[in-house]
Amino acid sequence: MHTSRTARRIVLLAALVTLLLPAHAFAYIGPGAGFAVGTTLVAFFTAFLSGLVAIFLWPARWLFRFLRGRRAHARARVKRFVILGLDGMEPTLADRFMAEGKMPNLSRLAEKGTFRRLGTTLPPLSPVAWSTFLTGCNPGKHGIFDFLTRSKQSYLPALSSVSIQGTSRVWRLGSYRIPVGKPSIRLLRHGKPFWNVLGEHGIFSSVLRVPITFPPEPFRGVLLSAMCVPDLRGSQGTFTYYTTKPATEGEYIGGERIHVKREGNVIRADLIGPENEIREDGGAMRCPFEVTIVGKDEVVVRVSGETHRLGLRQYTPWVKVTFKAGLGIKVRGICEFLLLRIEPEFELYVTPIQIDPDKPALPISHPSVYCTYLSKAQGLYATLGLAEDTWSLNAGILDDETYLHQCLETDAERETMFFDALDKVRRGLCVCVFDGTDRIQHMFWRYIDPDHPADDGKTEGRQRGAIEELYTRMDDLVGRTMDACDDEGTVLMVISDHGFNAFRRGVDLNVWLEQNGYLVLKPEGRGRKYLAGVDWSKTKAYCLGLAGIWLNVRGRESQGIVEPDEAGKLRDELCEKLGGLRDDSTGEIAVMRAFNSHKVYRGPYRKDGPDIIVGFNRGYRVSWEAAIGQPTDCLFHDNTKAWSGDHCIDPKLVPGVLFCNRKIEDDSPRLIDLGATALDMFGVAVPAQMDGRPLTVADSDGTFPSNGRPDGSHGAGVSTGSTVEKASGAA
Amino acid sequence: MDTVNSLLIHGANALLWLWDAIGSLLGRLWSALDAILDPILSPVLAVLNPACTVVGDVVYAVLSPVPVWFGLTVLSLLAGVVMLVAFRYVSNQEAIGRAKDDIKANLLTLKLYKDDLRVMFHAQGRLLWAILRLQRYMLTPVLVMLLPMLLGLAQMGTRYQWRPLHSGERTLIRMKLDESLEFAENGRFAADMRYAEDTTYTPVADAKPGVTLEGCAGLIVEVGPIPGGGEMVWRVRGGEPGRYQLRFHAGDDVIEKELVVGEGLRRVSATRVGSDWTTQLLHPAERRLPDRTGVESIEIVYPGVDSRVYGANWWVLSFFVISMAAALILKPVFRVRF
């Protein structure tokens, strides 16, 4: 073996010498050699030139920044600020696992520095909480109150954070409509992220998968968008389930079922892509694929020129797929195939088709090449905002194990990005959010709650310990992060935006409103989705989304009947009646309290959210039906879905966590304070519009700065005004 | 100023010395390699070349009705496609893909983290390493494709590089002699040759063995042979159109060399070479010269084909451009990474 390798090396060396000899340059002509020479020479010269340019320009750039007064880090108390977000990490579970010795790294972090509950937002939902985190503002200023909002015109649900519309200008060419200009992608979140403020002071940031950052905004640094990045169909994730089973009634939330026919050992079908907007009769673009059964438990999948062998319950790697719109225009996406069953019926699951980071159809990063850089550096990765397909587990298409595979894969991809960012950013801000904690707790909480209606007690298997494994895995991640941040100049914070709890019973708030005379259904209106069954001429309030209740206000809603001057009174009335709502079948209080949003929020957008925010008790949440505006005939419902844990309850019941490698003086830190803290640590003045206040973080020697700061001032100061406004909207 | 000049001169001298040293080192390496390869490749080529010539004749017979430029284009396109497919199957596409991704990732690193010198230097280092890896993965397919490509190019060269001698057109015939022979002492080849009216070369009167060239209809010898510089030279004119075998008598040996007189695109073998594998590669149309004749090669200095597209030397450029363009355009179709 060794001899053959040596011989091979000698032959290769000899061949190389042959190729290098000028006398035999003739041999180097032709495509084969041309490939080698062309590609390597281009890369070599590009590298050489770019390096040269960068090195020569570096002093000029430094001088430019210096002269413009942006001498970064001059007033900084920290060299690098690292925030590791573990979405939904529950402090009581962290306490428990640390006490049991299962999270040694977080224990070490708590012992060396700080471990506190972290005040979350009202409502404690990820889009709201992370928007508050990144802007340092209460929802009344950033305008995000829920995943969804409603159209004032049609009452239909719409995404709260982003609006995507195709270009309206088109050139007609026969049956083709050639779009002129770019589609409009608008971020509906207001407020300036604190890394933009840092960037204005010359401080570089690397921001990975922080929710509500789509579309990405320009700033000094790199950013990969997360929550609310759509799939290729424009949805927040539509899986496809191909089966030869006879069609049955019903449909899936977040997915589509396609009936396929088996012809011998071959099944042919199409992947469903985005709407073809360049053809008048376009419909959805399709990408054909073929599955050949080659064994009892093995198939071969052929799609877009790629071939993959696939065993039972196995995923393919990310597969690039191409949808052809015509006129040479292509849309590229990526997806994974999972073979569920071959006999007696064929069943195949395909993940939502996501934006290809290599050639993104929509901007998902800043700069736009950053997502390409990541895909080249580490391979393809999930780009969908909610990459883990919770809907398919809810629908029973995936089982625990195949769902968990997605979560682990996504976390592994994220880890690679995160550690690359830690390696690259030695001075500046580094933020990365891991969603696996949230998605796994949502779907596996039933296994740690013995009273949960979704756990019939029969489910054995290793996924019963999924949450404990998740926490220990995250602890391991924290350990490796600590190793990468062990220099004195780095502040490391491990945070969660909210905690977690059981979701055993759903409350159909539309039924409650109906029972109390605030909502009237049309005849035959019960059971219709998206509020289609509501008689608007008699309805004063309705529920849509996870956060709470909207009033049907005249002049605001298209068919409003509540006079604007009566709305305030009605809000108070609803809050009073809802607070303390009891579930008679369990005897528990279902709603702890309800909040009048016009009173708890401050800012120009405080009236854009639901009028009432409902603070549920542990174990309760808005029912699935109420969230999509589908009134039922029952106020309380057992939640028997796999989605068994939640956090959309009273914020006092689900604080997040804050671990830090330095001591923090404040006893009640809040999520809203972290942006201001980062600014303060870098010596940048906290903008007046921020509601958060800087936490008092110890220096690397463990001492706190006098009066909170080295210079005796209140941090780096506030740009205008003498105090940092305390956000009334933050819990 | 003097110091600068002195520095420049010394720097230039150092560079020249380095260049020479590299050239010398490569030359030694090549000699060693040649010594290993020659006994292997020379007999292989002796078998392959005639076979390739037959194939070449068939291909050009098929292409004979079409214009020359068109034939070259078709061949270049075909070569591009064949090489592309060959490249796909003989190369490690996955490894090439990874190396290329690394190159792109590190190039993007230079763009994204341009303010951080540490990151930039690291990226430069990784970039160079990725380029080396790519070069190493390219080597296997290049080696595999090298021989067939060279055989094909040599066949093309016999058509596009030289044209047949026109009737009445003057040129030279050069016979290169083995430098290891001591002509003056052993007298095998007399330096003093005499030109005979019947176009036959005869040795001088002392009857030392020499070289004679038999006359033929395709050739009129004007002057020669003129010895010197280890070779003998004849000045000749083209005779009647046709393909002839010139016969050289060297002592007891008879050595043949093909001559083509006429018009148009025809296979022309400019040189009949000895056993050296590199020259055999470049001149494949005739069998190699027999050993121990004392003759290293016989060359007829044919004029080059006169065209900026398919003429002498230009045809190589055309071939390269067209075949590369075909490969680049069809790369996505055949799903090849390079």
The tens digit of pLDDT for each residue in A433-446 reads 999 999 999 999 99
Partners of A62 on chain B (C-beta within 8 Å) are 115
CB contact under 8 A, A376 and B36: no
* Shortest alpha-carbon distance between residue B33 and chain A (Å): 7
Give yes or no for B145 touching A (CB within 8 A): yes
CB contact under 8 A, B112 and A51: no
What is the rounded end-to-end Cα distance, in angstroms, of chain A? Answer: 67
Mutate to test the interface with B, among A322, A376, A420 (most CBs of B within 10 A): A376
3-state secondary structure of A306: strand
Give yes or no for B124 touching A (CB within 8 A): yes
pLDDT (tens digit per residue) in B249-286: 877 778 889 999 998 888 999 999 887 888 888 889 89
Owner of token pair 């005499």: B194
| Cross-strand partners of A224 | A208, A365
pLDDT reading at A10 higher than 70: no
* Nearest CB to B118 within list A54, A204, A426: A426
Number of H helices, E strands in chain A: 17, 36
CB contact under 8 A, B117 and A55: yes
Task: Kindly give the confidence (pLDDT) of every residue in chain B, 338 residues in length, as a single tens digit, with 9 standing for 90 and above.
Answer: 788 888 888 889 998 999 999 889 988 988 888 888 888 888 888 889 899 999 999 999 998 889 989 999 999 999 999 988 888 898 999 999 999 999 999 999 999 998 888 898 899 899 989 988 988 888 888 888 888 888 898 899 888 888 999 999 999 999 988 766 544 333 344 434 333 344 444 443 343 346 788 888 888 888 878 887 788 889 999 989 999 999 888 777 788 899 999 988 889 999 998 878 888 888 898 988 887 777 888 999 999 888 888 888 888 888 988 998 998 899 888 888 87
> CA-to-CA distance for B309 and B280, rounded, in angstroms?
26
* Token digits of residue A523: 């005849």
3-state secondary structure of A107: helix
DSSP state of A260: -
Which chain A residue has the Cα nearest residue B317?
A29
Which chain B residue has the Cα nearest residue A41?
B131
What domains, with CATH codes, occur in chain A?
Answer: 2-67 (no CATH), 70-121+192-229+362-500+661-731 (3.40.720), 234-361 (no CATH), 504-653 (no CATH)
* Cα angle: A201, vertex A203, A207; to 5 degrees: 125
> CA-to-CA distance for B51 and B63, rounded, in angstroms?
19
> CA-to-CA distance for A291 and A470, rounded, in angstroms?
35
3-state secondary structure of A686: strand
Partners of A40 on chain B (C-beta within 8 Å) are 131, 134-135, 138
Per DSSP bridges, beta strands B253-261 and B242-250 are antiparallel
pLDDT (tens digit per residue) in B169-181: 999 999 988 766 5
* Shortest alpha-carbon distance between residue B185 and chain A (Å): 34
Give yes or no for B146 touching A (CB within 8 A): yes
pLDDT (tens digit per residue) in B126-167: 998 998 898 888 888 888 888 888 889 889 988 888 899 999
Owner of token pair 């589908």: A630
* Cα angle: B60, vertex B63, B64; to 5 degrees: 85
CB contact under 8 A, A43 and B116: no
Per-residue model confidence (pLDDT) at position B214: 84
Partners of A375 on chain B (C-beta within 8 Å) are 101
DSSP state of A237: -
Mean pLDDT of chain A: 88
Give yes or no for B321 touching A (CB within 8 A): no
Q: How far is CA A35 from CA A32, A174, B86, B141, B319, in A?
A: 5, 41, 12, 10, 14
Give yes or no for B89 touching A (CB within 8 A): no
Q: What is the DSSP string of B142-192?
A: HHHHHHHHHHHHHHHHHHHTB-PBPTT-EEEEEEEEPTTS-HHHH-SS-S-
Contact A693, A721 (CB under 8 A): no
What is the rounded end-to-end Cα distance, in angstroms, of chain B? Answer: 49
Domain boundaries, chain B: 68-161+314-334, 170-300
Which chain A residue has the Cα nearest residue B279?
A24
CB contact under 8 A, A61 and B115: yes
The secondary element (H helix, E strand) that includes residue B45 is: helix B2-63
A69: left (phi over 0), alpha (psi -120 to 50) or beta: left
Q: What is the DSSP string of A364-433?
A: -EESTTHHHHHHHHH-----STT-S-HHHHHTTSS-HHHHHHHHHHHHHHHHHHHHHHHHH-SSEEEEEE
* Nearest CB to A31 within list B79, B114, B130: B79
Q: By CB neighbour count within 10 A (0-12 exposed, 13-18 middle, 19+ buried), where does A566 fall? A: middle
Per DSSP bridges, beta strands A80-86 and A428-434 are parallel
CB contact under 8 A, B108 and A376: yes
DSSP state of A14: H
Mean pLDDT of chain B: 84
pLDDT (tens digit per residue) in A623-632: 999 999 999 9
